[in-house]
Structure 1
Amino acid sequence: MTVLIISGDADPTTNRIVHELDKRSTPVFRCDVGWFPAGLALDAVLDGSRWRGSLGTPHRAVRLEDLRSVLFRGPTGFTFEAGLSPVELRHVRLEARLGLGGVLTSLPVLWCNHPARQADAGYKPLQLAIAAQCGFLVPATMVTNDPEAVLRFTASVPHVVSKVLGVNRIDDGAVVRIAYTRFLETSDLVDLEGVRTTAHLFQEWLEKSYEVRVVAVGSALFTVAIHAHSAASRIDWRSDYEALSYSVVDLPKEVAASIRRFLEAFGLAFAAFDFVVTTDGRWHFLEANPAGQYGWLEDVVDVPISAAVADFLAGAT
Protein backbone atom coordinates (compact mmCIF):
# COMPACT_ATOMS: atom_id res chain seq x y z
CA MET A 1 0.00 0.00 0.00
CA THR A 2 1.21 3.47 -0.95
CA VAL A 3 1.32 6.78 0.89
CA LEU A 4 0.18 9.68 -1.29
CA ILE A 5 1.94 12.95 -0.46
CA ILE A 6 0.41 16.16 -1.81
CA SER A 7 2.84 18.99 -1.16
CA GLY A 8 4.85 21.76 -2.76
CA ASP A 9 8.29 20.81 -4.04
CA ALA A 10 10.10 23.15 -1.64
CA ASP A 11 8.61 22.01 1.68
CA PRO A 12 11.54 20.81 3.85
CA THR A 13 9.21 19.16 6.34
CA THR A 14 7.80 16.91 3.61
CA ASN A 15 11.34 15.92 2.63
CA ARG A 16 12.00 14.74 6.19
CA ILE A 17 8.83 12.63 6.22
CA VAL A 18 9.63 11.08 2.81
CA HIS A 19 13.08 10.13 4.16
CA GLU A 20 11.48 8.41 7.16
CA LEU A 21 9.01 6.53 4.94
CA ASP A 22 11.89 5.39 2.73
CA LYS A 23 13.62 4.00 5.84
CA ARG A 24 10.47 1.96 6.47
CA SER A 25 10.37 0.74 2.83
CA THR A 26 6.90 2.28 2.53
CA PRO A 27 6.00 3.14 -1.09
CA VAL A 28 5.41 6.86 -1.65
CA PHE A 29 3.79 8.75 -4.51
CA ARG A 30 4.56 12.45 -4.16
CA CYS A 31 2.93 15.14 -6.25
CA ASP A 32 1.75 18.73 -6.17
CA VAL A 33 -1.68 19.79 -7.40
CA GLY A 34 0.22 22.68 -8.98
CA TRP A 35 1.35 20.16 -11.60
CA PHE A 36 -2.25 19.71 -12.77
CA PRO A 37 -3.26 19.47 -15.56
CA ALA A 38 -0.09 19.41 -17.71
CA GLY A 39 2.09 17.36 -15.35
CA LEU A 40 -0.51 15.44 -13.36
CA ALA A 41 -3.28 13.29 -14.84
CA LEU A 42 -6.39 11.94 -13.15
CA ASP A 43 -8.24 8.86 -14.46
CA ALA A 44 -11.10 8.00 -12.12
CA VAL A 45 -14.32 6.02 -12.51
CA LEU A 46 -17.03 5.73 -9.86
CA ASP A 47 -17.30 2.07 -8.87
CA GLY A 48 -20.20 1.68 -6.47
CA SER A 49 -19.52 4.12 -3.64
CA ARG A 50 -15.83 4.86 -4.31
CA TRP A 51 -13.61 6.18 -7.07
CA ARG A 52 -11.13 3.83 -8.71
CA GLY A 53 -8.48 4.61 -11.27
CA SER A 54 -5.12 6.33 -11.20
CA LEU A 55 -3.20 9.48 -10.49
CA GLY A 56 -0.10 9.86 -12.62
CA THR A 57 2.76 11.97 -13.87
CA PRO A 58 4.64 11.47 -17.16
CA HIS A 59 7.02 9.17 -15.24
CA ARG A 60 4.89 7.06 -12.89
CA ALA A 61 1.38 6.48 -11.57
CA VAL A 62 -0.44 5.13 -8.55
CA ARG A 63 -3.80 3.38 -8.37
CA LEU A 64 -6.31 5.16 -6.18
CA GLU A 65 -7.39 1.89 -4.61
CA ASP A 66 -3.78 1.14 -3.60
CA LEU A 67 -3.50 4.18 -1.33
CA ARG A 68 -3.31 3.58 2.42
CA SER A 69 -3.03 7.23 3.54
CA VAL A 70 -2.55 10.81 2.33
CA LEU A 71 -0.24 13.52 3.68
CA PHE A 72 -1.64 16.92 2.64
CA ARG A 73 0.78 19.80 3.23
CA GLY A 74 0.35 23.15 1.51
CA PRO A 75 0.36 22.33 -2.21
CA THR A 76 0.68 25.15 -4.71
CA GLY A 77 -2.14 26.33 -7.00
CA PHE A 78 -3.11 24.84 -10.35
CA THR A 79 -1.04 25.82 -13.38
CA PHE A 80 -2.80 26.38 -16.70
CA GLU A 81 -1.59 27.19 -20.19
CA ALA A 82 -0.91 30.80 -21.10
CA GLY A 83 -3.43 32.76 -23.13
CA LEU A 84 -6.59 31.93 -21.20
CA SER A 85 -8.85 34.89 -20.50
CA PRO A 86 -9.73 35.78 -16.88
CA VAL A 87 -13.18 34.25 -17.40
CA GLU A 88 -11.67 31.04 -18.79
CA LEU A 89 -9.15 30.89 -15.93
CA ARG A 90 -11.90 31.14 -13.33
CA HIS A 91 -13.79 28.35 -15.07
CA VAL A 92 -10.90 25.88 -15.46
CA ARG A 93 -9.63 26.58 -11.95
CA LEU A 94 -13.05 25.82 -10.46
CA GLU A 95 -13.44 22.67 -12.58
CA ALA A 96 -9.99 21.46 -11.50
CA ARG A 97 -10.73 22.08 -7.83
CA LEU A 98 -14.10 20.35 -7.95
CA GLY A 99 -12.90 17.49 -10.17
CA LEU A 100 -9.43 16.57 -8.91
CA GLY A 101 -10.15 17.83 -5.41
CA GLY A 102 -13.52 16.13 -5.29
CA VAL A 103 -12.14 12.71 -6.24
CA LEU A 104 -9.16 12.87 -3.90
CA THR A 105 -11.05 14.16 -0.85
CA SER A 106 -13.63 11.38 -1.25
CA LEU A 107 -11.06 8.60 -0.88
CA PRO A 108 -11.76 6.45 2.23
CA VAL A 109 -8.18 6.50 3.53
CA LEU A 110 -6.29 7.93 6.50
CA TRP A 111 -5.70 11.67 6.04
CA CYS A 112 -3.08 13.89 7.65
CA ASN A 113 -4.93 16.25 7.33
CA HIS A 114 -8.07 16.09 5.22
CA PRO A 115 -8.16 19.31 3.11
CA ALA A 116 -11.65 20.26 4.28
CA ARG A 117 -10.72 19.85 7.95
CA GLN A 118 -7.48 21.73 7.38
CA ALA A 119 -9.34 24.57 5.66
CA ASP A 120 -11.77 24.85 8.59
CA ALA A 121 -8.88 25.06 11.04
CA GLY A 122 -7.32 27.86 9.01
CA TYR A 123 -9.88 30.37 10.31
CA LYS A 124 -8.12 31.90 13.31
CA PRO A 125 -11.30 33.39 14.87
CA LEU A 126 -12.89 29.92 14.72
CA GLN A 127 -9.74 28.43 16.25
CA LEU A 128 -9.84 30.83 19.18
CA ALA A 129 -13.52 30.15 19.87
CA ILE A 130 -13.03 26.36 19.71
CA ALA A 131 -9.88 26.66 21.84
CA ALA A 132 -11.84 28.40 24.59
CA GLN A 133 -14.53 25.71 24.37
CA CYS A 134 -11.83 23.04 24.72
CA GLY A 135 -10.59 24.54 27.98
CA PHE A 136 -7.60 26.60 26.84
CA LEU A 137 -6.81 30.01 28.29
CA VAL A 138 -7.17 32.45 25.37
CA PRO A 139 -5.90 36.08 25.36
CA ALA A 140 -8.43 38.89 24.90
CA THR A 141 -8.83 39.26 21.14
CA MET A 142 -10.60 41.59 18.70
CA VAL A 143 -11.16 41.25 14.94
CA THR A 144 -12.30 44.47 13.28
CA ASN A 145 -12.00 46.94 10.42
CA ASP A 146 -13.31 49.82 12.57
CA PRO A 147 -10.75 52.31 14.00
CA GLU A 148 -13.13 53.29 16.80
CA ALA A 149 -13.36 49.66 17.88
CA VAL A 150 -9.57 49.49 18.09
CA LEU A 151 -9.52 52.53 20.37
CA ARG A 152 -12.18 50.93 22.57
CA PHE A 153 -10.23 47.66 22.78
CA THR A 154 -6.88 49.31 23.55
CA ALA A 155 -8.52 51.38 26.27
CA SER A 156 -9.67 48.23 28.06
CA VAL A 157 -6.57 46.05 27.50
CA PRO A 158 -3.25 47.32 28.94
CA HIS A 159 -0.92 46.04 26.20
CA VAL A 160 -1.97 45.04 22.67
CA VAL A 161 -0.28 43.48 19.62
CA SER A 162 -1.50 43.26 16.04
CA LYS A 163 -1.25 40.03 14.04
CA VAL A 164 -2.18 38.82 10.59
CA LEU A 165 -5.11 36.43 10.30
CA GLY A 166 -3.46 34.31 7.62
CA VAL A 167 -0.01 33.62 6.21
CA ASN A 168 2.47 36.29 7.28
CA ARG A 169 4.48 36.13 4.04
CA ILE A 170 3.53 38.35 1.10
CA ASP A 171 5.34 37.83 -2.22
CA ASP A 172 5.38 41.11 -4.13
CA GLY A 173 7.30 40.21 -7.26
CA ALA A 174 10.98 40.13 -6.35
CA VAL A 175 10.23 41.56 -2.90
CA VAL A 176 9.16 39.33 -0.03
CA ARG A 177 7.40 41.05 2.86
CA ILE A 178 7.03 39.42 6.28
CA ALA A 179 4.32 40.61 8.67
CA TYR A 180 5.52 39.81 12.18
CA THR A 181 3.52 40.33 15.34
CA ARG A 182 3.71 44.03 16.17
CA PHE A 183 3.47 45.74 19.55
CA LEU A 184 0.95 48.59 19.41
CA GLU A 185 2.49 51.85 20.60
CA THR A 186 0.58 54.98 21.65
CA SER A 187 1.74 56.67 18.43
CA ASP A 188 0.03 53.96 16.37
CA LEU A 189 -3.35 55.03 17.74
CA VAL A 190 -3.12 58.57 16.36
CA ASP A 191 -4.10 57.52 12.84
CA LEU A 192 -5.92 54.20 12.45
CA GLU A 193 -7.57 54.84 9.07
CA GLY A 194 -5.59 51.97 7.55
CA VAL A 195 -7.62 49.59 9.69
CA ARG A 196 -10.59 50.23 7.40
CA THR A 197 -8.89 48.48 4.46
CA THR A 198 -9.58 44.93 5.67
CA ALA A 199 -10.06 42.74 8.77
CA HIS A 200 -7.36 43.06 11.44
CA LEU A 201 -6.65 40.97 14.54
CA PHE A 202 -5.66 42.70 17.79
CA GLN A 203 -4.75 40.67 20.85
CA GLU A 204 -3.77 41.14 24.46
CA TRP A 205 -0.01 41.08 25.00
CA LEU A 206 0.96 38.63 27.74
CA GLU A 207 4.20 39.00 29.67
CA LYS A 208 5.87 35.65 29.10
CA SER A 209 8.45 33.42 30.67
CA TYR A 210 8.80 31.53 27.41
CA GLU A 211 6.76 30.20 24.52
CA VAL A 212 6.03 26.60 23.56
CA ARG A 213 5.40 24.76 20.34
CA VAL A 214 3.53 21.48 20.77
CA VAL A 215 3.42 19.28 17.67
CA ALA A 216 0.56 16.78 17.68
CA VAL A 217 0.80 13.67 15.49
CA GLY A 218 -2.18 11.43 16.05
CA SER A 219 -2.07 10.69 19.78
CA ALA A 220 1.60 11.68 20.17
CA LEU A 221 2.49 15.13 21.53
CA PHE A 222 5.98 16.65 21.25
CA THR A 223 6.60 19.70 23.45
CA VAL A 224 9.45 22.19 22.96
CA ALA A 225 9.97 25.43 24.87
CA ILE A 226 11.23 28.42 22.86
CA HIS A 227 13.28 30.88 24.91
CA ALA A 228 13.70 34.39 23.45
CA HIS A 229 16.86 36.38 24.20
CA SER A 230 16.28 39.58 22.24
CA ALA A 231 13.67 42.32 22.27
CA ALA A 232 12.44 41.42 18.78
CA SER A 233 12.17 37.69 19.49
CA ARG A 234 10.21 38.32 22.69
CA ILE A 235 7.48 39.94 20.58
CA ASP A 236 7.67 37.42 17.71
CA TRP A 237 10.28 34.67 17.93
CA ARG A 238 10.14 34.13 14.15
CA SER A 239 11.80 37.53 13.66
CA ASP A 240 15.13 36.55 15.26
CA TYR A 241 15.95 32.84 15.19
CA GLU A 242 19.57 33.53 16.18
CA ALA A 243 18.36 34.83 19.56
CA LEU A 244 16.47 31.64 20.47
CA SER A 245 17.28 28.63 22.60
CA TYR A 246 15.19 25.50 23.06
CA SER A 247 14.42 22.82 25.61
CA VAL A 248 12.06 19.86 25.87
CA VAL A 249 9.52 20.49 28.63
CA ASP A 250 6.72 18.55 30.25
CA LEU A 251 3.22 19.16 28.95
CA PRO A 252 0.63 19.78 31.69
CA LYS A 253 -2.07 17.11 31.68
CA GLU A 254 -4.88 19.64 31.38
CA VAL A 255 -3.24 21.26 28.33
CA ALA A 256 -2.74 17.84 26.71
CA ALA A 257 -6.42 17.04 27.30
CA SER A 258 -7.46 20.34 25.72
CA ILE A 259 -5.20 19.68 22.71
CA ARG A 260 -6.87 16.33 22.10
CA ARG A 261 -10.33 17.91 22.37
CA PHE A 262 -9.25 20.58 19.88
CA LEU A 263 -7.94 17.99 17.40
CA GLU A 264 -11.15 16.01 17.70
CA ALA A 265 -13.30 19.12 17.25
CA PHE A 266 -11.59 19.96 13.95
CA GLY A 267 -10.96 16.36 12.82
CA LEU A 268 -7.20 16.90 12.61
CA ALA A 269 -4.46 14.28 12.78
CA PHE A 270 -1.63 16.84 12.82
CA ALA A 271 -1.19 20.38 14.12
CA ALA A 272 1.52 22.61 15.54
CA PHE A 273 0.21 24.48 18.61
CA ASP A 274 1.76 27.70 19.90
CA PHE A 275 1.45 28.75 23.54
CA VAL A 276 2.68 31.54 25.77
CA VAL A 277 3.66 30.49 29.29
CA THR A 278 3.25 33.55 31.48
CA THR A 279 5.31 34.48 34.52
CA ASP A 280 2.71 32.83 36.78
CA GLY A 281 3.22 29.50 34.97
CA ARG A 282 -0.10 29.44 33.09
CA TRP A 283 -0.32 28.25 29.48
CA HIS A 284 -2.20 30.50 27.05
CA PHE A 285 -3.27 29.32 23.58
CA LEU A 286 -2.17 31.47 20.63
CA GLU A 287 -2.90 29.36 17.56
CA ALA A 288 -2.72 25.93 15.95
CA ASN A 289 -1.25 25.54 12.47
CA PRO A 290 -2.59 22.37 10.76
CA ALA A 291 0.40 22.41 8.39
CA GLY A 292 2.96 23.90 10.76
CA GLN A 293 6.72 23.57 10.40
CA TYR A 294 8.84 21.79 12.95
CA GLY A 295 11.97 20.61 11.13
CA TRP A 296 14.35 23.05 12.83
CA LEU A 297 13.21 21.74 16.22
CA GLU A 298 14.35 18.22 15.28
CA ASP A 299 17.79 19.70 14.56
CA VAL A 300 18.21 21.30 18.01
CA VAL A 301 16.42 18.95 20.42
CA ASP A 302 15.51 15.26 20.48
CA VAL A 303 11.96 15.22 19.14
CA PRO A 304 11.38 12.49 16.51
CA ILE A 305 8.35 14.16 14.92
CA SER A 306 9.00 13.09 11.32
CA ALA A 307 9.35 9.48 12.45
CA ALA A 308 5.98 9.76 14.23
CA VAL A 309 4.32 11.18 11.09
CA ALA A 310 5.83 8.37 9.01
CA ASP A 311 4.60 5.73 11.46
CA PHE A 312 1.14 7.30 11.43
CA LEU A 313 0.96 7.31 7.62
CA ALA A 314 2.39 3.82 7.29
CA GLY A 315 -0.14 2.43 9.73
CA ALA A 316 2.31 1.56 12.51
CA THR A 317 0.30 3.54 15.09
Structure 2
Amino acid sequence: MGIDIPATLITNKKKQVETFLLNKDKLITKSISEIFDIRVSSDDNEEVYLNYTEEITTNVLDKIPETFAYSLFQEKLDKDLEIRAFYLNGKVYSMAIFSQLGSTSSTDFRKDFKNRRVPYQLSSILEEKITNLMELIGLNTGSIDFVKTNDSRIVFLEINPTGQYGMTSYPCNYHLDKEISKYLINNG
Protein backbone atom coordinates (compact mmCIF):
# COMPACT_ATOMS: atom_id res chain seq x y z
CA MET A 1 0.00 0.00 0.00
CA GLY A 2 3.08 2.25 0.09
CA ILE A 3 2.89 2.76 3.87
CA ASP A 4 6.18 2.67 5.79
CA ILE A 5 6.38 -0.25 8.26
CA PRO A 6 9.11 -1.35 10.69
CA ALA A 7 11.16 -4.49 10.13
CA THR A 8 9.10 -7.24 11.79
CA LEU A 9 9.64 -10.84 12.80
CA ILE A 10 7.07 -13.30 14.12
CA THR A 11 8.74 -16.34 15.59
CA ASN A 12 8.90 -18.77 18.47
CA LYS A 13 12.66 -19.39 18.21
CA LYS A 14 15.35 -17.59 20.19
CA LYS A 15 17.99 -18.06 17.43
CA GLN A 16 15.87 -16.11 14.96
CA VAL A 17 15.43 -13.27 17.47
CA GLU A 18 19.21 -13.21 18.10
CA THR A 19 19.89 -12.86 14.35
CA PHE A 20 17.21 -10.19 14.03
CA LEU A 21 18.70 -8.24 16.95
CA LEU A 22 22.15 -8.33 15.34
CA ASN A 23 20.69 -6.72 12.21
CA LYS A 24 18.53 -4.10 13.95
CA ASP A 25 20.46 -2.94 17.05
CA LYS A 26 17.30 -2.47 19.16
CA LEU A 27 14.13 -4.55 19.31
CA ILE A 28 10.74 -4.40 20.92
CA THR A 29 8.18 -7.13 21.42
CA LYS A 30 4.44 -6.87 21.79
CA SER A 31 1.70 -9.32 22.49
CA ILE A 32 0.01 -10.84 19.45
CA SER A 33 -2.51 -12.57 21.66
CA GLU A 34 -4.06 -11.92 25.03
CA ILE A 35 -3.22 -15.52 25.94
CA PHE A 36 0.45 -15.97 25.08
CA ASP A 37 3.34 -14.26 26.77
CA ILE A 38 7.10 -14.51 27.15
CA ARG A 39 8.32 -15.39 30.62
CA VAL A 40 11.93 -14.70 31.51
CA SER A 41 13.20 -16.34 34.70
CA SER A 42 16.46 -15.88 36.51
CA ASP A 43 17.19 -17.18 40.01
CA ASP A 44 14.16 -16.15 42.07
CA ASN A 45 12.93 -13.42 39.71
CA GLU A 46 10.44 -13.77 36.85
CA GLU A 47 9.62 -11.07 34.31
CA VAL A 48 6.58 -11.33 32.06
CA TYR A 49 6.34 -9.64 28.66
CA LEU A 50 2.62 -9.64 28.00
CA ASN A 51 0.35 -6.80 26.88
CA TYR A 52 2.70 -3.83 26.87
CA THR A 53 5.33 -3.17 24.25
CA GLU A 54 8.71 -3.93 25.82
CA GLU A 55 12.30 -3.51 24.69
CA ILE A 56 14.29 -6.70 24.12
CA THR A 57 17.92 -6.20 25.11
CA THR A 58 20.72 -8.75 24.87
CA ASN A 59 20.37 -9.20 28.65
CA VAL A 60 16.69 -10.11 28.28
CA LEU A 61 17.40 -12.26 25.24
CA ASP A 62 19.96 -14.29 27.20
CA LYS A 63 17.18 -15.29 29.62
CA ILE A 64 14.60 -16.30 26.99
CA PRO A 65 14.19 -20.07 26.44
CA GLU A 66 15.18 -21.58 23.07
CA THR A 67 11.49 -21.84 22.07
CA PHE A 68 8.43 -19.95 23.32
CA ALA A 69 4.91 -19.02 22.18
CA TYR A 70 4.85 -17.21 18.85
CA SER A 71 5.65 -13.56 19.45
CA LEU A 72 6.02 -10.40 17.39
CA PHE A 73 9.36 -8.58 17.36
CA GLN A 74 10.05 -5.29 15.60
CA GLU A 75 12.94 -2.93 15.21
CA LYS A 76 12.74 -0.29 17.93
CA LEU A 77 12.19 3.06 16.29
CA ASP A 78 13.63 6.31 17.61
CA LYS A 79 10.31 8.06 18.24
CA ASP A 80 9.51 11.73 18.22
CA LEU A 81 5.88 10.97 19.09
CA GLU A 82 3.17 8.37 18.67
CA ILE A 83 0.05 8.82 16.57
CA ARG A 84 -3.29 7.12 17.19
CA ALA A 85 -5.77 7.47 14.35
CA PHE A 86 -9.40 6.45 14.52
CA TYR A 87 -10.83 5.54 11.11
CA LEU A 88 -14.55 5.76 10.41
CA ASN A 89 -15.84 5.06 6.92
CA GLY A 90 -13.37 7.16 4.94
CA LYS A 91 -12.48 9.75 7.60
CA VAL A 92 -9.35 9.71 9.72
CA TYR A 93 -9.25 11.39 13.15
CA SER A 94 -5.66 11.51 14.42
CA MET A 95 -4.02 12.38 17.72
CA ALA A 96 -0.37 12.96 18.64
CA ILE A 97 0.79 11.39 21.89
CA PHE A 98 3.93 12.90 23.41
CA SER A 99 5.07 9.63 24.97
CA GLN A 100 8.77 10.49 24.69
CA LEU A 101 8.47 13.14 27.38
CA GLY A 102 8.20 10.49 30.11
CA SER A 103 10.61 7.66 30.87
CA THR A 104 7.74 5.35 31.88
CA SER A 105 5.90 5.80 28.58
CA SER A 106 8.75 6.08 26.08
CA THR A 107 8.41 2.47 24.87
CA ASP A 108 4.64 2.11 25.39
CA PHE A 109 2.47 5.20 25.93
CA ARG A 110 -0.18 3.10 27.73
CA LYS A 111 2.06 2.95 30.79
CA ASP A 112 1.37 6.63 31.54
CA PHE A 113 -1.91 8.17 30.40
CA LYS A 114 -0.79 11.59 31.63
CA ASN A 115 1.05 12.17 28.35
CA ARG A 116 0.05 15.27 26.44
CA ARG A 117 -2.37 14.36 23.61
CA VAL A 118 -3.43 16.80 20.87
CA PRO A 119 -5.10 16.67 17.45
CA TYR A 120 -2.70 15.74 14.66
CA GLN A 121 -3.17 16.09 10.92
CA LEU A 122 -1.77 13.28 8.81
CA SER A 123 -0.97 14.11 5.20
CA SER A 124 -3.84 13.72 2.74
CA ILE A 125 -1.69 11.19 0.85
CA LEU A 126 -1.33 9.00 3.95
CA GLU A 127 -5.03 9.36 4.79
CA GLU A 128 -5.86 8.17 1.25
CA LYS A 129 -3.53 5.17 1.72
CA ILE A 130 -5.24 4.39 5.04
CA THR A 131 -8.64 4.50 3.34
CA ASN A 132 -7.40 2.22 0.55
CA LEU A 133 -5.98 -0.23 3.10
CA MET A 134 -9.15 -0.27 5.17
CA GLU A 135 -11.27 -0.86 2.05
CA LEU A 136 -8.91 -3.63 0.91
CA ILE A 137 -9.20 -5.51 4.20
CA GLY A 138 -12.92 -4.81 4.52
CA LEU A 139 -12.99 -2.59 7.61
CA ASN A 140 -15.11 0.54 7.97
CA THR A 141 -13.72 1.37 11.42
CA GLY A 142 -10.65 0.77 13.57
CA SER A 143 -7.84 2.32 15.56
CA ILE A 144 -4.53 2.64 13.76
CA ASP A 145 -1.18 3.21 15.46
CA PHE A 146 1.76 5.04 13.93
CA VAL A 147 5.09 6.38 15.14
CA LYS A 148 6.63 9.62 13.93
CA THR A 149 10.36 9.00 14.06
CA ASN A 150 13.06 11.51 14.93
CA ASP A 151 13.82 11.76 11.19
CA SER A 152 10.12 12.57 10.47
CA ARG A 153 9.06 9.21 9.00
CA ILE A 154 5.46 8.20 9.75
CA VAL A 155 5.64 4.44 10.37
CA PHE A 156 2.57 2.19 10.52
CA LEU A 157 2.41 -0.23 13.46
CA GLU A 158 -1.01 -1.87 13.54
CA ILE A 159 -4.77 -1.71 13.10
CA ASN A 160 -7.10 -2.73 15.90
CA PRO A 161 -10.52 -3.33 14.29
CA THR A 162 -12.22 -3.02 17.69
CA GLY A 163 -10.05 -0.15 18.88
CA GLN A 164 -11.17 2.40 21.42
CA TYR A 165 -12.34 5.70 19.96
CA GLY A 166 -12.76 7.56 23.27
CA MET A 167 -9.04 7.93 23.91
CA THR A 168 -8.76 9.83 20.61
CA SER A 169 -12.10 11.61 20.73
CA TYR A 170 -12.08 13.20 24.17
CA PRO A 171 -8.65 14.89 24.29
CA CYS A 172 -9.04 16.11 20.70
CA ASN A 173 -12.73 17.17 20.90
CA TYR A 174 -13.60 15.04 17.85
CA HIS A 175 -17.01 14.04 19.30
CA LEU A 176 -16.65 10.62 17.71
CA ASP A 177 -19.65 9.25 19.57
CA LYS A 178 -21.77 11.69 17.57
CA GLU A 179 -19.99 10.77 14.30
CA ILE A 180 -20.50 7.05 14.98
CA SER A 181 -24.18 7.66 15.79
CA LYS A 182 -24.65 9.55 12.53
CA TYR A 183 -22.93 6.74 10.63
CA LEU A 184 -25.13 4.09 12.24
CA ILE A 185 -28.34 6.08 11.60
CA ASN A 186 -27.42 6.61 7.94
CA ASN A 187 -25.99 3.15 7.27
CA GLY A 188 -27.73 0.89 9.80
How high is the TM-score relative to the length of structure 1?
A: 0.52
Deviations 1:241-299 (A, max 9, x none): 12x01111211122112101111111111011000001121100000100101213332
Q: For structure 2, which runs of at least 5 residues remain unmatched after alignment?
A: 38-48
Alignment correspondent of 1:136? 3
Alignment correspondent of 1:304? 175
User: 1:261 corresponds to which letter in structure 2?
Assistant: N
- Please list every run of at least 4 consecutive aligned residues from structure 1 whose deviation after the TM superposition is greater than 3 angstroms: 167-170
* Structure 1 residue 300 displacement after superposition: 1.9
Is the Cα contact below 8 Å between 2:31 and 2:50 reproduced in 1?
A: no
Structure 1 CA distance for aligned equivalents of residues 186 and 144 of structure 2: 24
Deviations 1:5-58 (A, max 9, x none): xxxxxxxxxxxxxxxxxxxxxxxxxxxxxxxxxxxxxxxxxxxxxxxxxxxxxx
* Structure 1 residue 216 displacement after superposition: 0.6
More helix by percentage: 1
1:154 aligns with 2:25: no
Alignment correspondent of 1:48? none
More strand by percentage: 2
* Structure 1 residue 179 displacement after superposition: 2.3
* Structure 1 residue 309 displacement after superposition: 1.1
Deviations 1:44-82 (A, max 9, x none): xxxxxxxxxxxxxxxxxxxxxxxxxxxxxxxxxxxxxxx
**Within 5 A, what are the aligned runs for 1:65-214?**
134-167=1-34, 179-193=51-65, 196-214=67-85
User: 2:134 corresponds to which letter in structure 1?
Assistant: L
Is the Cα contact below 8 Å between 1:214 and 1:272 reproduced in 2?
A: yes
- Structure 1 residues 226, 156: closer, same or farther in 2, change over 3 A? same
Q: What's the % identity of the aligned pairs?
A: 27
Cα RMSD, aligned residues only: 2.1
Structure 1 CA distance for aligned equivalents of residues 14 and 69 of structure 2: 11
**Counterpart selection for 1:291 from 162, 175, 178:** 162
Give the number of equivalent residue pairs.
176
Q: For structure 1, which runs of at least 5 residues remain unmatched after alignment?
A: 1-133, 171-176
SS of residue paired to 2:32: coil
Specify the structure having the higher radius of gyration (Cα). 1
* Structure 1 residue 206 displacement after superposition: 0.5
Structure 2 CA distance for aligned equivalents of residues 142 and 316 of structure 1: 39
- Structure 1 residues 169, 218: closer, same or farther in 2, change over 3 A? farther
Deviations 1:116-172 (A, max 9, x none): xxxxxxxxxxxxxxxxxx1110000101111111111001011100111134899xx
SS of residue paired to 1:213: strand
- Structure 1 residues 309, 136: closer, same or farther in 2, change over 3 A? same
1:236 aligns with 2:103: no
Alignment correspondent of 1:271? 142
Say which structure, 1 or 2, has more relative contact order (CA 8 Å, 6+ apart): 2
